[in-house]
Chain A
Amino acid sequence: MSTHCIVRHVVKILATLLVGGFLGATMVRLSPGFGVDEQELDTRLSADSIRALRHAREPEEHILPFYVQYLSGLFKGNLGVSHSLGRPVAELLAERIPVTLRSVGTGVLGGWLLALVLALPSATYRLRAYDLFSTLVSGIFLCLPSAVLALLLLFTGGAPGCAIALVLFPKLFRYTRNLLLETYRAPHVLTAQAKGLSRTRILAWHVLPYVAPQLLALGGVSVSMAFGAAIPVEAICDSPGIGQLAWLAALGRDLPVLVNLTLLVTLVTLVAGTASELAGTMSTMQPR
């Protein structure tokens, strides 16, 4: 892996982050509901109070100065103050990131575990009944919204991470199973089978190394999917993480929080994607 390649990836991530953050803030600023505060509907507030509320939001009216000011603050560690929650964004993120990392970590691990447990025997043994069972189970979870899965988990006392795992596993299962089945039809695997090698040996030596780059790439995508699933899951399960913060910020039209979350989520997704891409490239470079 050359330094040039790593530098190129880092530059790409930074450029995407900058543009993504700016576009996110622009999109929020230009949307028709921007500047409309639910507090303004409170009939107890006088005209002066409503004017004061609007005045407090004036710095956000001009998006470019807002974004430049935000970026200069970012380098000094100042992420701004949340309008809806009335607290520094850095403080909110510091409190909530560990909660989401736990849920997302559990979800990604659980999702992969379930997917592999169902997909490996399905592709290796090709028992029709087992294949039907695993496809049916994954199909059931695939057609349920993530918020409903979170609700069902809430009824049964499950953790948010379990709901994220249930959201991820059907997608991971389908892709992994199809990939494994395709690989089992590859000429080198057929030759290994014809030579009488054991199933375990074929799987470990001829199938898994062959599918590793694609599975690693899917690993990166699964992190992004888990962050997406964390929003409804944390909102429904009342878990104080980043997903719930995103939901609260969206409901409260909280621009500082939304810009920070956009940057954070984009960063995590890009880093996960790049890391899995690099790992996949390195694994294909290994001699077999």
Chain B
Amino acid sequence: MRLERKLALGLLALVFSATIMAGVLSPPSYSQQFRDLPNAPPSRAFPLGTDELGRSRLSRLLEGTRVSLLLAPAAAVLSTLLAGLIGGVAGYLGGWWERLAMGATDLVLSLPWLFLLLTVRAMLPLNVSPLGSVLITFALLGLLGWAAAARVVCAGARSLRNSDFILRARAGGGRAGRVLLVHVLPNLKPVLYAQFWISIPVFILAEANLGILGLGVAEPLPSWGSLLRDLEHCDLRMLTAAPWLLVPLALLAVVVTSFQILLPTEDFPS
């Protein structure tokens, strides 16, 4: 493993450990309000200060990071499974199935990803609980993020369709479903694995964008998006005077960069 990949993995492990030990690193709950201390600067009790409601910024950052680090990979699993199913079946069966699946893929891809997300997210009920909003946001990311990956998987399955071992399996009387499950999909594992890793930073950034636009995770549950939303009320002078407000942005950048470095580029040169 190359040095930068080791470093990226170490950083991710460090960030993930910090979120697990959130209670030790920052004892106050992310929703506990210290009304006497709104917008407090960093102190021993609140290493990153407090927000306008007197909530510990560090506690909120650690909780928000945990939410994103747990649910972005879960959404990536969902989108990769969908891509594997749609792309794998379309590529293996070919003909009308492939045309239909690729038509649907083209349709989804013809709309900008954020526009699609924004529209669907905004149409959900107004009275969603914070936990519900987290699950809905990441489920939407998973359900709408399959298209680009499906195209890659379809190309992979198409190239396998006429390979010797698949022809032999079909000639031996193997049913389409069985050949797909036993022979095609296991051979697409590297493609699916790459798509999974590619999706994680994309989903983290998408959630952050939705959160900043007010359509992400509902308060009081924090996420990177809702934490970055605080920057909207700042200006350059404020940020210079209170640089700790940029810590969520710096952490997001570190995590996304680490995921980008960990992408399996050896197998799939871009």
Interface residues of A (CB under 8 A from B): 16, 19-20, 23-24, 27-28, 31-34, 36, 38, 41, 139-140, 142-148, 151, 155-156, 174-175, 178, 182, 224-225, 227-229, 231-232, 235-236, 246-247, 250-251, 253, 258, 261-262, 265-266, 269-270, 273
Contacts and interface: CB of A to CB of B under 8 A. Distances in A.
A151 B106 contact: no
B126 interface: yes
A62 B136 CA distance: 25
B119 A144 contact: no
Contacts of B113: 228
A169 B126 CA distance: 36
Contacts of A229: 114
Contacts of B214: 251
Contacts of A250: 118-119, 121-123, 215
B247 interface: no
Given A31-B123, A38-B126, A265-B112, A178 B269 contact: yes
Question: Considering the complex of A and B, which 6 residue pairs feature the smallest CB-CB distances, nearest first?
Answer: A228-B112, A31-B123, A250-B122, A143-B256, A147-B212, A145-B208
B119 A142 contact: no
Interface residues of B, number: 42
Interface string B180-207: 0000000000000000000001000100
Contacts of B17: none
B257 interface: yes
Q: Give chain A's interface secondary structure class.
A: helix
Given A143-B253, A247-B118, A265-B115, A155 B124 contact: no
A133 B269 CA distance: 21
A261 to B, nearest CB: 7
Contact of B231 (A34, A151, A228, A262): A151
Q: Which of B122, B201, B257 has the most CB of A within 10 A?
A: B122
A270 B225 CA distance: 30
Given A174-B270, A253-B123, 18 more contacts: A19-B107, A20-B110, A24-B111, A38-B126, A142-B260, A143-B253, A145-B209, A151-B232, A155-B236, A228-B115, A231-B114, A232-B114, A236-B212, A265-B112, A266-B110, A266-B111, A269-B110, A269-B111
Contacts of A246: 115, 118-119
Q: Give chain B's interface secondary structure class.
A: helix
A36 B122 CA distance: 11
Interface in B206-235: 208-209, 212-215, 225, 228, 231-232, 234-235
B126 A36 contact: yes
B236 A156 contact: yes
B179 interface: no
Contact of A28 (B123, B125, B208, B236): B123
B249 interface: yes
A261 B115 contact: yes
Contact of A16 (B106, B205, B239, B253): B106
A142 B259 CA distance: 12
Nearest to B239: A155
B66 to A, nearest CB: 19
